[in-house]
Amino acid sequence: MSENTITCKNNFGETVALPTDKFVFRPSVYGIIRHGNEICICGNKTNNKLWFPGGGVELGEKLKDALVREIREETGLDDVRIGRLLGSFENFFYYQPNDRAMHAFLFFFECWTDETTLNSNEQIDDIEATDIRWTRIDKIHMEDLCDMNEEVFSIISNLIQTPASPL
């Protein structure tokens, strides 16, 4: 790796080296949305892996405001309570379909809802999310996740031990 390149993973899990000047900063937020003993997950169109509702934070937008917007766009859920920050990670990532390299800062929040109806694929306002559904936390495995597997799986594993609703 030269000083002018960054080695990272693409959305297919392949290692790539890209010029440093290709990368843009991208803060993003994701909700681990709980309903009883289940969490909301979504499929990833390009690699058939799992991820969580969320996405990029717009300039001037607060993290929690961005999370509410992203959750509504992807899931259709309107009544989501945002709780504690579960973790934050830095990641270099290359999204191959649109040739975007990102120096990403990912923030994961625990959320709750009493709603159960989720958007169908036709209703999802996102280029990558598909098949949004509820699943039990203990049914998700590290290899099911599309990125940051160990870090994000650790967050999910810790949720199994915590109450399913806010105090």
- Tens-digit pLDDT profile for residues 131-163: 899 999 889 988 888 777 788 888 888 887 666
pLDDT of residue 97: 87
Name the domain count of the chain: 1
pLDDT of residue 44: 84
**What confidence tier does 6 reach under pLDDT thresholds 50, 70, 90?**
very high
Residue 51: which domain range? 28-159
Among 13-27, 85-99, 112-126, 148-162, the range scoring the smallest mean pLDDT is: 148-162
Evaluate if pTM is beyond 0.85: yes
Among residues 62, 63, 54, which one has the least CA distance to residue 125? 54
Q: What would the pLDDT profile of 15-68 be if each residue is shown by its tens digit? A: 999 999 999 999 999 999 999 889 999 988 888 888 899 999 999 999 999 999
pLDDT of residue 2: 56
Among residues 32, 1, 9, 40, which one has the least CA distance to residue 104? 9
Angstrom distance (rounded) from CA 44 to CA 118: 16
DSSP 8-state secondary structure symbol assigned to residue 26? E
| 2 is a domain residue | no
pLDDT of residue 167: 46
pLDDT of residue 149: 78
| 122 is a domain residue | yes
| 141 is a domain residue | yes
Question: Are 102 and 23 spatial neighbours (Cβ–Cβ below 8 Å)?
Answer: yes
DSSP 8-state secondary structure symbol assigned to residue 145? B
| 8 is a domain residue | no
Query: Taking CA 63 as the corner, what is the angle to CA 129 and CA 155, rounded to the nearest 5 degrees?
Result: 65
CATH number for position 148 = 3.90.79.10
| 11 is a domain residue | no
